[in-house]
Amino acid sequence: MDETSSSRIELAASEWLARRESDDWSDTDRAGLDVWLGESTAHRVAFLRLESAWTESARLKALAAGRAEAGPPLRGAWAQLPHMFAEASVMDDAAGASRVEALGALTFTARAPVPPRRHALGAGLATAAVALCGALAFWGWRSHGAVDTASYASAIGDLSAVALTDGSHATLSSGSRIEVAMSRDERRIDLRSGEAFFEAAKDRARPFIVNADARRVVAVGTKFSVRRDGADLRVVVTEGLVRLESDPIPGQPPAPVTLLPAGSTALATRSGVLVRTGTVADAERALEWRGGYLHFDDTPLAEAAIEFNRYGGSKLVMGDSDAAALRIGGNVRWSNVDGFVRLLEQGFGVRAERRGEIIVLHSQ
């Protein structure tokens, strides 16, 4: 996005925010804002950034506490405060008169000697230094320590599209969950279960890191998926370059870092990392679940059944080893288990035994 487009979006976002904070905000305005936010991720990011700044500045309203007029005080108004207090003090004549009489009874004692000016200057400098250190410490905490966190999940049989605050996107497969932590130094995503496809926005100053127990997938700006299967991890890269890392195991040499270019598929197990290099089209076919399909290429029926079972519906179970070893291929909708079973019956000689929500597949 060029600077001109970014400026236009920022201006539009500020106008929407100002209108929302006005007294004449209506349901029609709210609907218009929802439409504008839904047009692009850039719109949502710009609005969220300005909204956050607006919230942070809310504490400034406290400076105007006690003013009858709405809004901030006029420039120079604070200089009139002594006169305002003086005028208020004579409003009550009785109280004012009593205070004047009381003044005549006052006695005064000599003021303590004033310390040398250099001491006062030194104390002032020390106070200023402490205040400056406090401000720098607060700024450092806000800049380096602040972390924005969020958690997202998808139900069994559903996909979930998520827009992250840094401009990245994530698509969660069936029964998946991620936890997101965005800081100034890094963008960290913990894949708790299932599979997710990431479109990481480019930001060289903040690496995009997907954690899965003792393994990490690190990128700067690219497209890839990460899937957990028990202790195993599968990574598929469709654009750019990612780095697969593993935590060291006590008593063993450090695990090598694996670089995965576009078109690569890596399977990390307890035995090591197996990488298959192919084309981007091959990698895309492995991720057709995003469009509602499962792709099989000379796949054992037992493995195909596991894929279907991840998306809910009737559960496929192998009735014998011959049925489990049967090889199949093609694209099938993961939501159409019954259609897949009919295809096996008609074209592959498989006999299906239905037991409620369980379908047992037998060879003929």
Q: pLDDT per residue over 105-125, tens digit each? A: 444 444 555 455 444 444 554
Per residue in 127-183, pLDDT (tens digit) is: 444 444 444 444 443 444 568 999 999 999 999 999 999 999 999 999 999 999 999
Distance CA 176, CA 184 (A): 26
Q: Domain span at residue 189?
A: 148-278
Question: Which residues does residue 219 pair with via DSSP β-bridges, in sequence order?
Answer: 208
Are residues 253 and 171 both part of a single domain? yes
Question: Is 284 among the domain residues?
Answer: no
Distance CA 161, CA 291 (A): 12
Please tell me which residue, 351 or 116, carries the higher pLDDT value: 351
Q: Write down the pLDDT at residue 265.
A: 97
CATH code of residue 356: 3.55.50.30
Are residues 168 and 238 both part of a single domain? yes
Per residue in 182-201, pLDDT (tens digit) is: 999 999 999 999 999 999 99
Domain final residue, candidates 247, 278, 309: 278
Are residues 211 and 317 both part of a single domain? no
Question: Is 54 among the domain residues?
Answer: no
Q: Are 245 and 227 in contact (CB under 8 A)?
A: no
Question: Is 174 among the domain residues?
Answer: yes
Are residues 208 and 248 both part of a single domain? yes
Q: Residue 280: pLDDT band by 50, 70, 90 thresholds?
A: very high
Q: Write down the pLDDT at residue 119.
A: 47
Are residues 254 and 296 both part of a single domain? no
Question: Is 248 among the domain residues?
Answer: yes
Q: Which of 363, 299, 309 is nearest to 331 (CA)?
A: 299
Q: How does the average pLDDT of the chain come out, rounded?
A: 79
> How many domains is the chain built from?
2
Please tell me which residue, 290 or 20, carries the higher pLDDT value: 290
Distance CA 36, CA 13 (A): 9
**Residue 349: left (phi > 0), alpha (psi -120 to 50), or beta?**
left
Q: Which of 42, 20, 21, 23 is nearest to 31 (CA)?
A: 20
Domain final residue, candidates 278, 304, 329: 278
Distance CA 143, CA 160 (A): 31
Q: Residue 57: pLDDT band by 50, 70, 90 thresholds?
A: low
Q: Write down the pLDDT at residue 49.
A: 67
Q: Are 219 and 238 in contact (CB under 8 A)?
A: no
Task: Report the pLDDT averaged over residues 87-109.
Answer: 43
Are residues 265 and 300 both part of a single domain? no
Distance CA 149, CA 179 (A): 7
Question: Is 330 among the domain residues?
Answer: yes
Are residues 221 and 330 both part of a single domain? no
Are residues 154 and 200 both part of a single domain? yes
Question: Is 261 among the domain residues?
Answer: yes
Question: Is 96 among the domain residues?
Answer: no
Per residue in 248-279, pLDDT (tens digit) is: 878 777 778 999 999 999 999 988 899 999 99
Are residues 253 and 204 both part of a single domain? yes
Give alpha helix (H) positions in 247-329: 280-285, 301-309, 321-325
CATH code of residue 268: 2.60.120.1440
Does residue 345 register a pLDDT over 90?
Answer: yes
What predicted TM-score, i.e. pTM, was given to this entire model? 0.60
User: What residue type is 323 in one-letter code?
Assistant: A
Q: Residue 46: pLDDT band by 50, 70, 90 thresholds?
A: confident
Question: Is 35 among the domain residues?
Answer: no
Are residues 229 and 338 both part of a single domain? no
Domain final residue, candidates 278, 310, 338: 278
Are residues 188 and 234 both part of a single domain? yes
Are residues 270 and 300 both part of a single domain? no
